Every structure is written in C-alpha cells, then in structure tokens.
Amino acid sequence: MNLPENAQKIDVAGATVDFYTYQDGNTTFYQFDSSMTGPPEPMVNAMAGLKLLDGSNKKLVMINHKAPGGLFSKIGENFSYEIHDIEEGKVKIVFSYIEGASSKADLSDTSCH
C-alpha cells in the first residue's frame, strides 16, 4: 500500500486491518487495505472507516481486490465515491462525505447480503 511519508497508524474501533491517516492540503485522509481479506472484512472495515468522515474535509481511501458492490448499495445515497484501478488488479475507492446525507447512513449493518 503506497502511503505518504506523513502517514500515521491509528486505531479505528471495529477495524480488523491497519488504518492510517495523513493530510494533503486541507483534507484529512484515512486509508486502509482490505485487498488480502475476504467477506465480510472489507465491509466491516469500510463501515468502521466511514464513521470517521464527519465533514467535507475528510476522505476515506479503501484498497480492495475488487469494487465492493454490496457496500455501494448500502451507502451509495449517503456517501460519494470514486473508483480507480491500481496495480496488481486492485481498486482504490475514495469515499467522500455528503453534507446532509452522510450523517443519515446506517453504518452498523456490516453483512454482505
């Protein structure tokens, strides 16, 4: 996982993988890599990470082995996201807070159905 030099490891409640935070300009990024895990861990970690987004100046970066369609169907109305193909067939998803919508998301349902 490529992280900037200023990245610091942080504890995230409920996470099963390492999370890191770093600044880029005025934006705080939280990043994790779930590409080596299987269901339901990518969903569990994404939901834990999305709880960190409480304003428009914060973004969550997820590295995964594929785009998590089940996650998108759960949070698609509450968070915006961009998908980028990266090395080794993995994807990078960058989640952003949506004012007035993200605070309404149910981030407790981490099942993959």
Q: How far apart are CA 45 and CA 112, in angstroms?
A: 12
In terms of Cβ atoms closer than 10 Å to its own Cβ (0-12, 13-18, 19+), residue 42 is buried
Nearest-CA neighbor of 36 among 4, 2, 1? 1
C-alpha Rg value of the chain to the nearest Å: 13
Task: Report if residue 32 sits inside a domain.
Answer: yes
Q: How far apart are CA 58 and CA 27, in angstroms?
A: 6
Task: Report if residue 88 sits inside a domain.
Answer: yes
Residue 42's CATH number = 3.30.110.40
Q: What is the pTM of this model?
A: 0.95
Tell me which residue has tokens 């994404």: 46
Q: How far apart are CA 50 and CA 68, in angstroms?
A: 14
Task: Report if residue 59 sits inside a domain.
Answer: yes
pLDDT digits (tens, 9 = 90+) for 35-49: 999 999 999 999 999
pLDDT digits (tens, 9 = 90+) for 52-91: 999 889 999 999 999 999 999 999 899 999 999 999 999 9
Query: Which range marks the domain in which residue 92 is found?
Result: 8-101
Counting the structural domains of the chain, the total is: 1
